[in-house]
Amino acid sequence: AALLAERFRLACRRLGLNSRDDGGDGLDVTQFTVPPAPGQQLSLPL
């Protein structure tokens, strides 16, 4: 398990994942919305 964790960490570093130097504040959650209740019709953005 330790070897797999180390390989994953190195792959993330190599691919530039998990970096905090992108100038952002992290994940932008403004596009996430609460899903409609079961049986409720979805709206069509026009």
What average pLDDT is seen over the chain?
82
Query: Residue with structure tokens 């570093």?
Result: 13
Are 12 and 18 spatial neighbours (Cβ–Cβ below 8 Å)? yes
Extract the tokens encoding 28.
Answer: 């932008």
Quick one: pLDDT band at residue 41, thresholds 50, 70, 90? confident
| pLDDT number for residue 44 | 82
Spell out the residues 6+ positions from residue 20 whose beta carbon is closer than 8 angstroms to its own: 26
| pLDDT number for residue 19 | 65
Q: What is the pTM of this model?
A: 0.41
Candidates 45, 18, 46, 25; CA nearest to 33 is 45
| pLDDT number for residue 23 | 55
Q: Is the pLDDT of residue 25 over 80?
A: no
Q: What's the average model confidence in pLDDT over 36-45? A: 83
